[in-house]
Amino acid sequence: MSSKLIDFTEIDPDGELWELFARDFLQEVGFFVESTPDRGADGGKDILVTEQLQGNLNKYRFKWLVSCKHNAKSNKSVSEKDEINLQERLDSFGADGFIGFYSTIPSSGLNNRLTALKDKQKIKDFRMFDNRLIENYLIRIGFSKLLMRYLPNSYKKVKPVHLITSELIPLECEHCGKELIESLNNETYGAVVCHVISNDDSEKIIDIYWACKGTCDTKLEEKYHRQSATTAWEDITDLVIPAMFLRWVLTSMNQMRENPEMYSDEAYKKHKHFIMAMSQKVLREMTEDEKQRTIELINLPGYI
Ligand SMILES: [Zn+2]
């Protein structure tokens, strides 16, 4: 996957936005932020975060020094020379390990230096959050707010999946179980939704399924053909387009009005599930106020 989905140059290189983004991001990932971005004597900006690690007998806190570097505009990797006084900075914070939080990538020289420090047991560990890894996180469920706040233009482009109820409504391939809703962020035209139509005069919709395009879809199609039913498919990627989604919903409403027996119970149940799952991608994200209002109005756990 390319790292072209998110354009980190959107974050102003002047000021402390990149560091604030790093702080909020790492918090979302599960780290505890010990200190907010602080300009060191050398002009570098570091953050201290901790995480609870589970040892054999007890839990202990692992301290990470986070170095934030925002080179997206020049697109230069972060080199050893950019990370000056590495050892001193780690010592002054009493950090166990080092995290590079970069809008580009670390240079191989810097990686080698950190590997050497680890081999000599000067640091316990190091991790790199480079542009690609950060992007991988940002397009996952749960990161859409962060993306919307710091990278609004990329947010519009990615259209991340957001929750409509308290948890993700899954859309799993009926053959292999792959989660199709999340993969819509980085794969296009990889999945289909199919209506299974009975082969008699009634032409009832006896089932609906969704699956990866290719082997999974073919296997399911064959299964239904053996039951002498036909299938009609649409690309799920097309149904992410709001107008196409609305058309899909309205078409089925028309069918149901014309013939209330058109959909089998199973097909109707799955039809509703598909609409709910797709809404997480098609509808816009709710504001906090709107979420609160929804909970007040509906007053039910899970609220739909
Ligand atoms: Zn599949």
For residues 185-209, average pLDDT? 89
Q: Is residue 166 part of a domain?
A: no
Question: Does residue 76 contact residue 130 with C-beta atoms inside 8 Å?
Answer: no
Residues 276 and 185 in one domain: yes
Q: How confident is the model at residue 1 (pLDDT cuts 50, 70, 90)?
A: very low
Answer yes or no: is pLDDT of 162 > 70. yes
Please give the residue that has the higher pLDDT: either 116 or 286. 116
CA of 210 to the centre of ligand 1 (A): 9
For residues 127-141, average pLDDT? 91
Q: How confident is the model at residue 158 (pLDDT cuts 50, 70, 90)?
A: confident
How many domains does the chain fold into? 2
Residues 151 and 234 in one domain: no
Do the bridges between strand 59-69 and strand 97-102 make them parallel or antiparallel, or are there none, so unpaired?
Answer: parallel
Q: Is residue 252 part of a domain?
A: yes
Domain that holds residue 271: 180-282
CA of 216 to the centre of ligand 1 (A): 5
CA of 161 to the centre of ligand 1 (A): 19
CA of 10 to the centre of ligand 1 (A): 35
Q: Is residue 20 part of a domain?
A: yes
Q: Is residue 142 part of a domain?
A: yes
Residues 149 and 184 in one domain: no
CA of 272 to the centre of ligand 1 (A): 21
What is the Cα–Cα distance from 100 to 64, expressed in whole angstroms?
Answer: 10
Residue 60: which CATH number? 3.40.1350.10
CA of 200 to the centre of ligand 1 (A): 29
CA of 84 to the centre of ligand 1 (A): 48
**Per-residue pLDDT tens over the stretch 66-112:** 999 999 999 999 999 999 888 888 988 889 999 999 999 999 999 99
CA of 191 to the centre of ligand 1 (A): 8
Residues 149 and 197 in one domain: no
For residues 270-281, average pLDDT? 95
CA of 286 to the centre of ligand 1 (A): 30
pLDDT given for residue 44 in this prediction: 57
Residues 49 and 127 in one domain: yes
Q: How many CA atoms lie within 13 A of 166 on its CB side?
A: 7
Q: How confident is the model at residue 16 (pLDDT cuts 50, 70, 90)?
A: confident
Sorted by sequence, the CB contacts under 8 Å of residue 275 that are 6+ apart come out as: 249
CA of 135 to the centre of ligand 1 (A): 24
Residues 133 and 208 in one domain: no
Q: How confident is the model at residue 245 (pLDDT cuts 50, 70, 90)?
A: very high
Residues 71 and 19 in one domain: yes
What is the Cα–Cα distance from 225 to 217, expressed in whole angstroms?
Answer: 12
pLDDT given for residue 2 in this prediction: 43
Sorted by sequence, the CB contacts under 8 Å of residue 226 that are 6+ apart come out as: none
What is the Cα–Cα distance from 133 to 292, expressed in whole angstroms?
Answer: 32
For residues 157-171, average pLDDT? 86
CA of 194 to the centre of ligand 1 (A): 13
Q: Is residue 278 part of a domain?
A: yes
* Alpha-carbon distance values, 81 to 85, 86, 121 (Å): 9, 10, 22
Q: What is the mean pLDDT of the chain?
A: 89
pLDDT given for residue 39 in this prediction: 60
Residues 147 and 185 in one domain: no
CA of 138 to the centre of ligand 1 (A): 24
CA of 159 to the centre of ligand 1 (A): 23
Residues 238 and 137 in one domain: no
For residues 175-183, average pLDDT? 91
Question: Does residue 62 contact residue 97 with C-beta atoms inside 8 Å?
Answer: yes
CA of 144 to the centre of ligand 1 (A): 25
Residues 136 and 190 in one domain: no
CA of 11 to the centre of ligand 1 (A): 37
For residues 18-29, average pLDDT? 94
CA of 212 to the centre of ligand 1 (A): 4
CA of 206 to the centre of ligand 1 (A): 21
